[in-house]
A and B are shown apart, each in its own frame.
Chain A
Amino acid sequence: MSTFGEYGGRYVPETLIPALDELERGWREACEDDSFRTELHELLTTYAGRPTPLTLAERFAPGKRIYLKREDLLHTGAHKLNNALGQAVLARRLGKHRIVAETGAGQHGVATATVCARFGLECVVYMGEEDMRRQQPNVERMGLLGAEVRPVDFGTKTLKEATSEAIRDWITNVSTTHYLIGSCVGPAPYPEIVRNLQRVIGGEAREQILAAEGRLPEVVVACVGGGSNAIGIFYGFLEDENVRLVGVEAAGAASLGSGRAAVLHGARSSVLADEDGQIEDAHSISAGLDYPGVGPEHAFLRDSGRAEYTVATDEEALAAFRDLARTEGIVPALEPAHALARARDIDAELILVGLSGRGDKDLAEALARLA
């Protein structure tokens, strides 16, 4: 079982342990299997739209060379599809015909509903009522795609409770069901699976920026909620010791910045928790960052010093959201708007930013706040 230093692990009820063992075996076999890799590559190119381009954002940050890795141009509008496609192919190999997932901003729910439609799998998505309100267009998209969206009406009514309910569903239906987790969180082997399915972002971006600039970026910046787009883009540059890796959390959901070691959703990580280990509420305008936990590998990268983590406030993210739209004609999701906000004041010239998704889903919320 893979852990990340002292983080990760499998803190789940016994019922799930055999399923996690089966998943780990199935994943390792798939990774060794050329037909799995070929099928996934084919789907990523002909269905998802990879490779995504790199765009130089000259007007957004005059005096800097900020490149945007355009995961917003991926089918369904966010990087989440990379992971959903890979796990759906894996679920079919494991003989599972029912998929459950959690969603916060709705991007992972849409990606999951999409791959389930593509493969003819039954799809149930748990979503907090507060997030359903904030991200109504995505709720409607999931319905159109044939998924059942189950509202979660207790606790914070956001991603934390949606994740707990998805795991409870999985415990109850484990023989027929694959849990298609949306970020690099959860019990082992999920953080590793999701990271390896997202590292295509960083792999492409490294080649693209070398082709464009003939050198590596000084800094790679990405937003961090659970942390899957960040880990995916960071992995392309992990061995390049001179490239700074900067993760940007929402100021009210800074699991890495102000959290402590705790256990949430099956893994030990850095979590917003009180001194008794009770999980605290996160707050962010961005539903995708509004989560008190973070992937265990980010906690490890923070402690090792390889990556650094900072925050952006709701207001800073909103300003970057508006400015990117007006200067580049690109409406980012509120999640990567946090990364954009920090990228423009980082003391470096050549910067790569993970533009993890597009902002259509956020228009109502953002325009109301900007008015």
Chain B
Amino acid sequence: MKTLVIYLMAEPETPELARAAVEGGADVVELGFPFSDPLADGPVIRRAAERALARGMRTQACLDVLARTRELLPETPLIPMTYASLLEARGWEKFASDAAAAGATSLIVADLPAGDRPDLRRIQLVAPTSTDERIRLAGEETDGWLYLVTVAGTTGARDDLSPALASLVERARAATGVPLYAGFGISTPDHARAAAELTDGVVVGSRALLAAEEGADALRDYVASLRTALDS
């Protein structure tokens, strides 16, 4: 069975939205802690971050959302995804321990590549541009699974699944035995199924945020459509 990871921006409504995503068939929920200057993100997540920050979603508020999500979803892996500046400000270890205390299963830091601060346990990302050596390093340092960035680019829906994914999967399989989940640019059930034929799971962010803007029912239905495609 393939793993379905859904990304949501941390906002006051997010615990209920996360529950709807899990009801729709999400196995893992990533919680975006917004940053003012998110270099890895395309327009949808950037705008969601701007909105969340305008609503006061600073680190402590995000941790509170994480803790409430954990209460609603005691079993689901919950993974904050953020940027280095938030960890720098709170203290690197303190951020990680506060997140763990609030119920985080692991952590993703989009602008902290493998090799930097190896003591900070987190899920590492690899990209089509990564060398075999870097994929091996990321595989060694990663916390549970490896996040395959399917394209050279930022987050956001694309018309087609990246042709770069197949060779990245091949190189990653040769370098590491950890599960591989593909993300960036996956938005339709067809993308999800095609990506999951190569990998152990998929991550869907920008398109899930758009569904979440329409409410919990829309998000649940959208996630269910991905789940159905992955299970077919």
Interface residues of A (CB under 8 A from B): 9-19, 154-155, 160, 164, 167-168, 171-175, 260-266, 268, 271, 273-279
B111 & A12 in contact (Cβ 8 Å cutoff): yes
A12 & B59 in contact (Cβ 8 Å cutoff): no
Partner of B86, one of A13, A271, A276: A276
B114 & A14 in contact (Cβ 8 Å cutoff): yes
Q: Which of B20-28, B122-130, B170-178, B187-195 contacts A (4 or more CB under 8 A)?
A: B122-130
B53 & A278 in contact (Cβ 8 Å cutoff): yes
Contacts of A274 in B (CB 8 A): 58, 89
Q: When chains A and B are docked, how far (Å) is the Cα of A265 from the Cα of B85?
A: 10
Partner of B59, one of A15, A172, A268, A276: A276
B89 & A171 in contact (Cβ 8 Å cutoff): no
Q: Which residue of A has the minimal Cβ distance to B58?
A: A276
Contacts of B134 in A (CB 8 A): 14, 17-18
Contacts of B58 in A (CB 8 A): 274, 276, 278
B85 & A264 in contact (Cβ 8 Å cutoff): yes
Contacts of B153 in A (CB 8 A): 15, 171-172
**Minimum CB–CB distance for B156 against chain A, Å:** 10
Contacts of A12 in B (CB 8 A): 39, 111, 113
Partner of B39, one of A17, A167, A173: A167
- State whether A18 and B50 are in contact (beta carbons under 8 Å apart), knowing that A264-B85, A278-B35 are contacts in the complex: no
Is B83's beta carbon under 8 Å from chain A? Answer: yes
From B37, B88, B110, B138, name the one whose CB has the most chain A CB atoms within 10 angstroms. Answer: B37
A164 & B35 in contact (Cβ 8 Å cutoff): no
Contacts of A264 in B (CB 8 A): 37, 85
Contacts of A155 in B (CB 8 A): 36, 50
**Minimum CB–CB distance for A281 against chain B, Å:** 9
B39 & A171 in contact (Cβ 8 Å cutoff): yes
A13 & B36 in contact (Cβ 8 Å cutoff): no
Q: When chains A and B are docked, how far (Å) is the Cα of A276 from the Cα of B87?
A: 8
* 8 A Cβ contacts from B80-123 to A: 83-90, 110-114, 116
Contacts of A275 in B (CB 8 A): 89
A171 & B154 in contact (Cβ 8 Å cutoff): yes
- State whether A171 and B40 are in contact (beta carbons under 8 Å apart), knowing that A11-B112, A277-B85 are contacts in the complex: yes
Is B149's beta carbon under 8 Å from chain A? Answer: yes
Question: What are 18 sample pairs from A and B whose C-beta atoms fall under 8 A apart?
Answer: A11-B84, A13-B40, A14-B114, A14-B125, A15-B128, A154-B46, A154-B47, A168-B154, A171-B153, A171-B154, A174-B129, A263-B88, A266-B39, A271-B85, A276-B60, A278-B35, A278-B85, A279-B85
* 8 A Cβ contacts from B153-204 to A: 153-154
**Minimum CB–CB distance for B160 against chain A, Å:** 15
Interface residue total, chain B, C-beta cutoff 8 A: 41
Q: Which residue of A has the minimal Cβ distance to B114?
A: A14
Q: When chains A and B are docked, how far (Å) is the Cα of A262 from the Cα of B83?
A: 11
**Minimum CB–CB distance for B56 against chain A, Å:** 11
Is B152's beta carbon under 8 Å from chain A? Answer: yes
Contacts of B53 in A (CB 8 A): 278
Contacts of B59 in A (CB 8 A): 276-277
B90 & A18 in contact (Cβ 8 Å cutoff): no
Q: When chains A and B are docked, how far (Å) is the Cα of A268 from the Cα of B92?
A: 13
Is B131's beta carbon under 8 Å from chain A? Answer: yes
Contacts of A171 in B (CB 8 A): 39-40, 152-154
**Minimum CB–CB distance for B132 against chain A, Å:** 11
Q: Which residue of B has the minimal Cβ distance to A17?
A: B113
Q: When chains A and B are docked, how far (Å) is the Cα of A171 from the Cα of B149?
A: 12
Contacts of B42 in A (CB 8 A): 168
Q: When chains A and B are docked, how far (Å) is the Cα of A155 from the Cα of B112?
A: 23
A265 & B88 in contact (Cβ 8 Å cutoff): no
Contacts of B112 in A (CB 8 A): 11
Contacts of B83 in A (CB 8 A): 11, 263
Partner of A11, one of B111, B125, B126, B127: B111
Partner of A262, one of B88, B124, B127: B88
Q: When chains A and B are docked, how far (Å) is the Cα of A273 from the Cα of B37?
A: 11
B127 & A273 in contact (Cβ 8 Å cutoff): no
B85 & A262 in contact (Cβ 8 Å cutoff): yes
Q: Which 4 A-B pairs have the closest CB atoms?
A: A277-B89, A277-B85, A263-B85, A15-B127
Partner of B131, one of A18, A277, A279: A18
A273 & B89 in contact (Cβ 8 Å cutoff): yes
A261 & B88 in contact (Cβ 8 Å cutoff): yes
A168 & B39 in contact (Cβ 8 Å cutoff): yes
B90 & A277 in contact (Cβ 8 Å cutoff): yes
Q: When chains A and B are docked, how far (Å) is the Cα of A12 from the Cα of B39?
A: 8
Known pairs A171-B154, A263-B88, A279-B36 / 5 extra A-B pairs, C-beta < 8 Å: A13-B149, A14-B134, A154-B47, A164-B39, A278-B35
**Minimum CB–CB distance for B164 against chain A, Å:** 11
Contacts of A15 in B (CB 8 A): 127-130, 149, 152-153
**Minimum CB–CB distance for A175 against chain B, Å:** 7
